[in-house]
Chains A and B, each alone.
Chain A
């Protein structure tokens, strides 16, 4: 008899906030193989976007993800602006950057809390989320919402940041600084956290490159990749900041990297505010009347990595094609190498260490019973119609026999 056992993580499991399926094949406590099945959370956003007009799409893509809820609209408006060949006003760009960086801090703190939860350190969980709360309040102050800020607009931003609120932002960021420093110290000092995370779930630089890992996952493995530096959007090239890169590639590096990025983000926000002070209060958007035929791409460094949007227009008031690639799509696959060879206890934190966001990444995919074949869009529609027909026939049949056949 084989000693191998299957430990399922998912489709519904306390480890994961979203439905997805990891099949851990274990020998005792050691994981020898991993199978990843995603596709439980597909919502057809791309298709939906093709049925909305240009302005509405901004709101639709905002709903892709609740955590990085400004990255998608940001990438989308950049794509449309690329199509139009225009630049938003300077002031709008700075406001966009502030929102983007605030979101990065909030997302990383949320992840830090979850990481603590996954290694059973619930105190870190609650403390990190408490530190995140003022950031959400800031969002409420700036945009009116704690999540889904609706700040992005083709040609600019929807709302200006009131100069009176600059002080509130500065104060919150400065108060957050010692907390972030404390978390950095905790992670560096605590021997048990060290033991749980150091040298666990290592993603080597070679694997990170070959899997096409993005964002913090890649940067923790020593790959210097950041859209903000490599292909600067907004005004990231105008201010002085640096990309945080660590080389170990283990969970410890991933935790530390995210805390350091939070610190870096805070300094970016403060610099943006300085620039906002310098430039006169003025236009926050360039009005856009017509969107000509053409295509454009937008790339944004979301908290999890590069978020990519592509739009194509045929001159009408809605996109003919809208393509989204979220960073988790690339990052989740790295679990194939990081989980194997470690214990089940490590699997929990390793699976979470890429900061997976399945609702961002899901695609419609139908597997045949052998788990091999993936169907295309047309086939899916055909399948769906067939299924409806089948159900109709089934109910007709049941009606005919007066529900005698209960086994159906």
Chain B
């Protein structure tokens, strides 16, 4: 019985991810005086990919090339599952937050590996950029998590973090919590590869870089993996900073997507050097201030 429920949850996550992505596209279109796609656009795009031919480039490392999207997809599935079971069944295990962080890094790591294995110079540049960016944003996100953990009194259980906030003091409302949220927000923007941090895929510079050689079903797996991340990442951040009832969470999810879209549409793409500078020399010191505030109880 529970397995059917899990399956339904996964289906829900994928659909919510699709809707969220659509919302981003539609809002972007409206910002730019365009009409924008219908709500099912992402789903039919992905369905189409599965009936297309899959081409594996000559000189590519076949196993790694095929395996990367699959590993990425499975790890994002597990993240979605952990998050949802944590919220609904209070089913947790020791230090699940750490596991989630590891699982969230896996899609990016395999994106890099998949790009390296595809034997394309543009993919290579994209992979190098993604590597640099990964170091920048994961670092900042961990600083943000440290603030949350300090505020929860050193607990590494996600369900405990949620419960503590459900009782009344939402972290978002405190100074250090707000700082941690800002760090996490930029992490979200960078992790989802949205302008201004879409350097690894930069369409106009390196022709969608890391993804350039992927086609057909393999690209479809990447897209589903991204759909899942589109839902589970904002969900994770909402759990960390402003949890609430189920309906509240869904509304907050859409608000977060709106915020992402606004930032996307009022900024050009940053250079990779500027991205690193922004994360390390602006957000990291901000995070240190946040930790200091959190220790002192603000």
Contact = CB atoms under 8 A, between A and B. Distances in A.
| Co-assembled chains A and B | yes
B121 A14 contact: no
A120 B122 contact: no
Interface string A63-94: 00000000000000000000000000000000
Nearest to A121: B268
A8 B124 CA distance: 12
Given A122-B32, A192-B196, A117 B272 contact: no
A124 B269 CA distance: 12
B267 A127 contact: no
B24 to A, nearest CB: 13
A120 B125 contact: no
Nearest to B124: A5
A109 to B, nearest CB: 14
Number of chain A interface residues as a range: 20 to 34
A137 B33 CA distance: 18
B116 to A, nearest CB: 13
Contacts of A343: 271-273
B152 interface: no
B121 A116 contact: no
A134 to B, nearest CB: 13
B2 interface: no
Contacts of B265: 122-123
Contacts of A118: 204
Contacts of A119: 204, 268-269
B206 A7 contact: yes
A25 to B, nearest CB: 11
A120 B263 CA distance: 13
Nearest to A124: B268
A345 to B, nearest CB: 5
Given A345-B199, A345-B205, A192 B268 contact: yes
A127 B33 contact: yes
Nearest to B270: A192
Contacts of B121: 5-8
Nearest to A345: B271
Contacts of A121: 195, 267-269
Interface string A90-121: 00000000000000000000000000111111
Nearest to B274: A195
Contacts of B273: 29, 343
Contacts of A141: none
Contacts of A7: 121-122, 125, 206
Interface in B20-35: 28, 31-34
A92 to B, nearest CB: 37
- Tell me what chain A mostly uses at the interface: helix, strand, loop, or mixed: helix
Given A127-B33, A345-B199, A13 B124 contact: no
Interface residues of B, number: 32
A346 B265 CA distance: 20
Interface in A6-60: 6-8, 13-15, 26, 28-29
B128 interface: yes
Contact of A348 (B33, B198, B204, B267): B204
B202 interface: yes
B207 interface: yes
B198 A120 contact: yes
Contacts of B199: 345
A192 B207 CA distance: 22
Nearest to A28: B128
A136 B195 CA distance: 31
A393 interface: no
B195 A120 contact: yes
Given A29-B125, A126-B34, A192-B196, A116 B268 contact: yes
A343 B125 CA distance: 11
A345 B32 contact: no
Interface of A: 5-8, 13-15, 26, 28-29, 116-127, 130, 192-193, 195-196, 343-348
List the 3 closest pairs (A to B, CB-CB), nearest first.
Answer: A120-B269, A126-B32, A121-B268
29 contacts: A5-B121, A6-B121, A8-B122, A14-B208, A29-B129, A116-B268, A117-B204, A120-B198, A120-B202, A120-B204, A120-B268, A121-B267, A121-B268, A122-B28, A122-B265, A124-B268, A126-B32, A127-B33, A130-B33, A192-B267, A196-B270, A344-B206, A345-B202, A345-B271, A345-B272, A346-B271, A348-B202, A348-B204, A348-B205
Given A122-B28, A123-B265, A195-B274, 16 more contacts: A5-B121, A6-B121, A7-B206, A14-B204, A15-B205, A116-B268, A118-B204, A120-B198, A122-B265, A123-B31, A126-B32, A192-B196, A195-B270, A196-B269, A344-B205, A348-B204
